[in-house]
Chain A
């Protein structure tokens, strides 16, 4: 059975300015042990999607519809207690900012132990401490015996992210959701953390949903990529295809605007013009059309009709362009 199956997820926040349609019609499957990236610019709905999986979207007026089937059980229709038993045990989460993610008032050992104790009510104090020590050691914190009784502020950002990871893995989750786990870190520390996540995944066999805006990070450790734009999945493909044969103009734009270590000096970048749309007043039809270089070539279709995800080559793309053109996007002809 598919481990996680998200079907037609819609999330809308009611705000005084109007309804924010943060996620629209998102569907995807996660198989055991695989690594899937969700990529997109800020505000594209990545975090809202991730939070929905654990029902962590809070707010005065949150409207969610669709299905989130974890081994066949719909997270969205579970009781509060049922969701709680899923959180941190079947699906665990790592947040972006390690500096604020740990409770400043308790020692890291206690917090790791707590993560275990919540789902293992019988555990003794001694067991919990043992578990905390082991976890710290596993994620590469030196001197765990001394460190286990220290408070979060006594650790650097990179170490705190290691501790958050230790905590997330303490119950052997089937799915690890990492929401921009390295965005707040330096490149050298980012490399450490990505390596750790990959290592831990190999050990635990968890599936990983990695959220990021950095295509470089995607290429490093994932197998499959979903590109989000304005609350929708616009392309879904293997990581190789995403980079070699992107099948959506937005993905192409992202790739073209990334600077790489070997772009020559003063080689011109090709930015995507304009800015991402407001989710309160989304453009009609394809939400990307005001910024898309290809929109004109399709007459008025892009601004009147919203494209659905469909199979293009071995990828899936939500664009009206004919398949041949989508498969030749990187070839130049625009």
Chain B
């Protein structure tokens, strides 16, 4: 319920921000030397001549009912859920997003799995071998990882794995349904780039979390009860240390679903991030409004999911 209200507010706000920009969306519909009549016609066709509230209303209506732009003859119909029409690409925004989302989702999912595995795994190792070389290695990794810019790591990976050694082909996205192997090959580098960088933070979070929990009285009582070390680590320490990490990870994942701008551009993957970036370059407002909103939706949903999950993981916040 609360999430729906929040979404409405977010969408209205996004809409308002973009329409308040100084650029005239209608003027952008055709090239530099466009005749004023064309601009005016396009303005009317796309609905930019109406007051803002009405535009927003039409937009929202479009989401549920679909929308037709312009009069008959030169009209374009975008079926529900319509998120607008891109005059730059002459395509319904919804179908643009529908074609790019799977790419981003593939990137996000793989990167997420990898980074949680690396981050939590190394973090746990570091905590358990505190002060020894494993700890120093993991801590070193996290320091280096945090300070690496994405584009640099991405380019380095391409240099090493594609250009110098040729172990991997240059990433070219293929749908998983078409060819799973190609899909995998194309995504493995971006996954690692994103995973390594995010994992760095998670190594530190996990390590510190575990060390903190190990000092808790209930862990000492667990040892005093005679719990075997492995069971103690898993059921007492990890359980407690991972609760906050899971919640943060949920939000990070949602954020990633909103598009990995830099990574997608470097690896030339046709995902949401690249779509957004192109839209920025071309001042393609309908796409920007839509991608912003999609990202917001993911974050709101993730928040709700995390809340539920948190209640499930931690009995203390469970509502009776």
Residues of A within 8 A of B (CB): 54, 56, 60, 80, 84-89, 92-93, 95, 97, 100-106, 114-115, 118-119, 151, 153, 164, 167
Contact = CB atoms under 8 A, between A and B. Distances in A.
Contact of A115 (B216, B225, B229): B225
A104 B315 contact: yes
B116 interface: no
B218 A56 contact: no
A163 to B, nearest CB: 11
A151 B315 contact: yes
A265 B220 CA distance: 44
A54 B224 contact: yes
A143 B66 CA distance: 59
Interface string B202-228: 000000000000001110111111111
Dominant SS among interface residues on chain A: mixed
Contacts of A80: 229
Contacts, number: 66
B239 interface: yes
A103 B224 CA distance: 13
B217 A101 contact: yes
B314 interface: yes
B217 A95 contact: yes
B221 A105 contact: no
B32 interface: no
Contacts of B227: 84, 114, 118
A100 B224 contact: no
Given A89-B226, A118-B227, A103 B236 contact: yes
A167 B222 CA distance: 11
A60 B314 CA distance: 31
B224 A87 contact: yes
A84 B226 contact: yes
A302 to B, nearest CB: 38
Given A115-B225, A119-B226, 10 more contacts: A60-B131, A80-B229, A87-B223, A95-B220, A97-B217, A103-B236, A104-B240, A104-B314, A106-B235, A153-B315
Contacts of A97: 217
B316 interface: yes
B215 to A, nearest CB: 9
B178 to A, nearest CB: 44
Contacts of A84: 226-228
B240 A105 contact: yes
A181 to B, nearest CB: 12
Nearest to B239: A105
A46 to B, nearest CB: 16
Interface in B207-263: 216-218, 220-229, 235-236, 239-240
Given A60-B131, A118-B225, A104 B217 contact: no
